[in-house]
């Protein structure tokens, strides 16, 4: 096997780095000196290469070097055998898939959580054993604890899924002030944050389903002998199945370093009981207040009882939570740079209404916790609006979630921001579109020109964020007539900020789960773009072959489509259009006189090439290009994947053709 010169030099460089790392040169010098001193001194004969190699082999140095030089990648065996060769236009240094050793700080406490298999996942009782190399549905377990996130290896769906993963959770990740002080059992008992576990099922087409969401009370390990305990966690379903068991996970909890003194079970159970009582009392008082507020709201105007004023919403486990608890200022770190980029990120997360069992067309309410929404990578409009509002608050904007209706009275949620200059902006979380709101004054004379609203919203019942809640008490709940002066209590009835804070503040002991941080994308945009493009070329060629048409690809024309796709994404993310002149000029130069050019761009939020191709064929414009007939037909396709946090992505595809026009 011959290597190209650049690969050969790269391989030599890798070997050289490894030899330097292991100090092999120094060890060879020692062996050489020792061999000359012990064996060759009396004869003073020449030392051959074979003699030196023999000495190195006897001392195990060659074996050590060969063990360390592992040339592996983290590509699946399936991909290695079936995937088409990747173009050599994009090189990436990839680490071998070895478990890295964690740097454990001996002055800090850790919780080691091991998942030692599952059982009683009865829905998969009849699931056949997957054959080697066969694509099958998988389970993935996602964890969040005190700003740390983990994900298990995918395991095939089965009645007894073979989970075997360990997660090292730092117990006092956020307490930087006591970094030099070892936290003891009593201090850890006051840390009420649970371990949030979310189980996701991924089918053979890559579609994800939320199976279970569970909050693990880990502090029982503080009263266990030797700081080790085993628990069987029963997972319940979500939504309409929130009372049905879906399976059991065997979990082992261990504290590192070991506790010098464990707590008695009575102390831990008393602490848990006190926390439950405190939370229950706060929730009871808030419920009493909310009922009183609602009675007062109805007394303002009888028609208020049909307005969409939502104070509580059910999460994926069927638990009623105040809507304000679904919002919290969320900073994206360096993953997102601007509020508009954040809106684009939220819009490329998939949209899917909560599933309903049976007919009737009713809408099942399910406001997901943030971890469940992010791990599943899709959710309802409420999930999108809550995430977008949280991100905009993180950017320092005054943002609120609006609850109201769209056309035909369909319930909907969106986001509004109030500028310091009085500008009211609506943000549609499902598309990333922004609309400036100019209220219509119903008292204006008929001849006065009124602004025509561009937004799809019809009515609005309430607005809220993490510490404010306002019910719309204006004479009409029509959005186009609505005045967003939230300080005017004759237009918006406020809830007590103290009451909201008592149950929604992140610092309080409450049933509200803490927000997880966003994770960077694990998708390589260039490699994924190449793979989808190659698959689409094969699909187009096969489709044209079925129509008895030949296919000739024009690589240069395909490359010229890239600026257009980049401009489309830039416009979606920033509302700024740029670069169109250069694209048009390049296409004019690439298409000879007497030829016709046709192009069709389309946008997806998934990476399934076959599914995207089927969707494209449903468009008559795209089908006309793919099935183009004529003289000197040349086809082109370009794919550009834009990655966002949480491995969300915007996939832009452009099909094009040029051919000689024959009259």
User: Are the C-beta atoms of residues 637 and 656 closer than 8 Å to each other?
Assistant: yes
What tokens were used for 100?
């890295």
Count of C-beta atoms within a 10 Å radius of residue 231: 15
Q: For the chain, percent helix, then strand, then coil, each to nearest 5?
A: 35, 25, 40
How do residues 244-282 score in pLDDT, each as one tens digit?
A: 899 999 999 999 888 888 899 999 999 999 999 998 999
What tokens were used for 247?
């399976």
Q: How confident is the model at residue 89 (pLDDT cuts 50, 70, 90)?
A: very low
Strands 148-151 and 208-216: unpaired
With a cut of 50, say whether residue 64 has pLDDT above it. Answer: yes
User: Bridge partners of 210?
Assistant: 200
Element (H, E) at 338: none
pLDDT of residue 200: 95
Compare 61 and 612 and report the one with higher pLDDT: 612
pLDDT of residue 368: 92
Distance CA 439, CA 642 (A): 37
pLDDT of residue 77: 43
C-alpha separations of 172 from 115, 188, 260 in Å: 22, 8, 18
Distance CA 402, CA 391 (A): 15
CATH number at residue 425: 3.10.620
C-alpha Rg value of the chain to the nearest Å: 31
Q: How confident is the model at residue 452 (pLDDT cuts 50, 70, 90)?
A: confident
Tell me, yes or no, whether 130 and 256 share the same domain: yes
Distance CA 102, CA 443 (A): 68
User: Are the C-beta atoms of residues 424 and 484 closer than 8 Å to each other?
Assistant: yes
Say which range, 67-76, 505-514, 624-633, has the weakest mean pLDDT.
Answer: 67-76
Strands 378-379 and 350-351: parallel
**Which of 46, 64, 82 is where one domain is finished?**
64
How do residues 619-654 score in pLDDT, each as one tens digit?
A: 999 999 999 988 889 999 999 999 999 999 999 999
Tell me, yes or no, whether 590 and 471 share the same domain: no
Tell me, yes or no, whether 446 and 540 share the same domain: no
What is the mean pLDDT of the segment spanning 96-107?
A: 60
CATH number at residue 114: 2.60.40.150
> Is 491 a member of any domain?
yes
pLDDT of residue 435: 93
Per the structure, how many domains does the chain have? 4
Residues 6+ apart with CB under 8 A from 69: 14, 15, 18
> What secondary structure letter does DSSP report for 236?
E
Runs of H (alpha helix) within 148-264: 185-189
> Is 583 a member of any domain?
yes
**Which of 64, 83, 100 is where one domain is finished?**
64
Largest CA distance in the chain: 119
Angle at 335 between CA 110 and CA 177, to 5 degrees: 35
pLDDT of residue 475: 92
> Is 5 a member of any domain?
no
Element counts in the chain: helices (H) and strands (E): 17, 23
Q: How confident is the model at residue 45 (pLDDT cuts 50, 70, 90)?
A: low
Q: How confident is the model at residue 204 (pLDDT cuts 50, 70, 90)?
A: confident
Q: What is the dihedral of CA 327, 333, 339, 342, to 10 degrees?
A: -80
With a cut of 90, say whether residue 67 has pLDDT above it. Answer: no
Please give the residue range of the domain that contains residue 493: 274-353+364-504
pLDDT of residue 578: 81
CA pseudo-torsion sign 616, 622, 627, 633 = negative
User: Are the C-beta atoms of residues 499 and 289 closer than 8 Å to each other?
Assistant: yes
Q: How confident is the model at residue 72 (pLDDT cuts 50, 70, 90)?
A: very low
Tell me, yes or no, whether 117 and 246 share the same domain: yes
pLDDT of residue 94: 45
Residues 6+ apart with CB under 8 A from 583: 560, 563, 564, 567
> Is 314 a member of any domain?
yes
With a cut of 90, say whether residue 229 has pLDDT above it. Answer: yes
Tell me, yes or no, whether 257 and 286 share the same domain: no
Compare 16 and 401 and report the one with higher pLDDT: 401
Q: How confident is the model at residue 93 (pLDDT cuts 50, 70, 90)?
A: very low
Distance CA 464, CA 470 (A): 6
How do residues 548-577 score in pLDDT, each as one tens digit?
A: 999 999 999 999 999 999 999 999 988 888
Tell me, yes or no, whether 456 and 433 share the same domain: yes
With a cut of 70, say whether residue 10 has pLDDT above it. Answer: no
Distance CA 357, CA 244 (A): 14
> Is 625 a member of any domain?
yes
> Is 10 a member of any domain?
no
Reported as half-sphere exposure (CB side, CA atoms, 13 A), residue 9 has a value of: 2
pLDDT of residue 220: 92
pLDDT of residue 482: 92
> Is 157 a member of any domain?
yes
Does the bond joining 257 to the residue before it have cis omega, within 30 degrees of 0?
yes
> Is 531 a member of any domain?
yes
Tell me, yes or no, whether 476 and 532 share the same domain: no
Tell me, yes or no, whether 473 and 610 share the same domain: no
Compare 127 and 485 and report the one with higher pLDDT: 485
pLDDT of residue 243: 87
Distance CA 549, CA 544 (A): 5
With a cut of 80, say whether residue 144 has pLDDT above it. Answer: yes
Distance CA 197, CA 249 (A): 11
Mean pLDDT of the chain: 84
Tell me, yes or no, whether 340 and 459 share the same domain: yes
Nearest 5°: phi and psi at 110?
A: -130, 150
Say which range, 83-87, 146-150, 522-526, has the weakest mean pLDDT.
Answer: 83-87
């Amino acid at each position: 096997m011959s290597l190209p010169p650049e690969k050969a030099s790269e391989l030599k460089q890798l070997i050289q780095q490894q030899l330097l790392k292991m100090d092999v040169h120094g060890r060879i010098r020692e062996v050489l000196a020792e061999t000359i001193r012990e064996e060759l001194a009396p004869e003073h004969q020449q030392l051959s290469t074979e003699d030196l190699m023999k000495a190195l082999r006897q001392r195990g140095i060659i074996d050590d070097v060969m063990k360390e030089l592992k040339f592996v990648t983290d590509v699946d065996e399936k991909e290695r055998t079936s995937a088409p060769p990747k173009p050599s236009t994009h090189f990436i240094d990839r680490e071998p898939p070895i478990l890295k050793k964690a740097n454990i700080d001996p002055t800090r406490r850790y919780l080691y959580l091991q998942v030692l298999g599952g059982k009683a996942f009865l829905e998969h009782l009849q699931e056949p054993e997957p054959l080697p190399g066969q694509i099958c549905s998988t389970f993935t377990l996602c964890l969040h604890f005190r700003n740390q996130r983990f994900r298990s290896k995918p395991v095939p769906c089965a009645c007894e899924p073979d989970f075997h993963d360990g997660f090292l959770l730092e117990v006092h990740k956020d307490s930087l002030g006591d970094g030099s002080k070892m936290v003891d059992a009593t201090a850890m008992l006051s840390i009420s944050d649970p371990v949030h576990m979310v189980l996701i099922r991924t089918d053979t087409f890559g579609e994800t389903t939320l199976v279970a969401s569970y909050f693990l009370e880990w502090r029982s390990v503080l009263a266990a002998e030797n700081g080790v305990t085993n628990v069987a966690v029963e997972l319940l379903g979500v939504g309409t199945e929130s009372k049905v068991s879906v399976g059991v996970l065997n979990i082992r909890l261990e504290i590192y370093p070991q506790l010098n003194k464990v707590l008695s079970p009575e102390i831990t159970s008393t602490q848990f009981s006190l926390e439950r009582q405190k939370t229950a009392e706060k929730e009871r008082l808030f419920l009493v207040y909310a009922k009183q507020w609602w009675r007062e709201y109805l007394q303002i105007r009888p028609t208020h009882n049909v307005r969409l004023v939502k104070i509580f919403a059910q999460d994926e486990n069927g638990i009623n939570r105040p809507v304000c608890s679904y919002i919290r200022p969320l900073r994206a770190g360096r993953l997102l740079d601007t509020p508009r980029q954040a809106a684009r990120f939220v819009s490329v997360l998939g949209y899917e209404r909560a599933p309903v069992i049976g007919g009737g067309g009713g809408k099942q309410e399910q406001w997901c916790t943030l971890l469940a929404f992010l791990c599943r990578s899709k959710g309802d409009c409420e999930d999108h609006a809550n995430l977008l509002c949280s991100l905009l608050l993180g950017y320092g904007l005054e943002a609120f979630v609006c609850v109201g209706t769209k056309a035909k009275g369909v319930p909907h949620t969106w986001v509004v921001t109030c500028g310091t200059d009085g500008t009211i902006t609506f943000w549609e979380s499902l598309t990333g579109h922004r609309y400036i709101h100019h209220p219509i004054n119903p008292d204006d004379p008929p001849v006065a020109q009124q602004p025509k609203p561009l937004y799809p919203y019809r009515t609005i019942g309430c607005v809220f964020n993490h510490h404010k809640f306002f019910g719309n008490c204006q004479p009409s709940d029509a959005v186009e007539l609505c005045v967003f002066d939230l300080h005017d209590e004759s237009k918006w009835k406020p809830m007590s900020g103290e009451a909201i804070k008592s149950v929604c503040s992140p610092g309080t002991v409450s049933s509200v789960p803490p927000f997880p941080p966003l994770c960077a994308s694990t998708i390589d945009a260039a490699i994924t773009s190449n793979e989808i493009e190659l698959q689409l070329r094969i699909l187009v060629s096969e489709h044209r072959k079925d129509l008895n048409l030949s296919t000739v690809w024009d690589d240069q024309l395909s490359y010229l489509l890239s600026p257009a796709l980049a401009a489309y994404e830039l416009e979606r993310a920033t509302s700024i259009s740029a670069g169109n002149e250069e694209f048009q000029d390049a296409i004019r130069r690439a298409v000879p006189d007497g030829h016709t050019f046709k192009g069709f761009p389309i946008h997806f939020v998934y990476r399934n090439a076959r599914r995207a191709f089927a969707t494209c064929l449903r468009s008559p414009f795209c089908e006309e290009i793919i099935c183009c007939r004529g003289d000197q037909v040349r086809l082109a396709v370009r794919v550009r994947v834009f990655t966002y946090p949480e491995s969300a992505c915007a996939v832009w595809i452009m099909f094009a053709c040029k051919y000689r026009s024959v009259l």
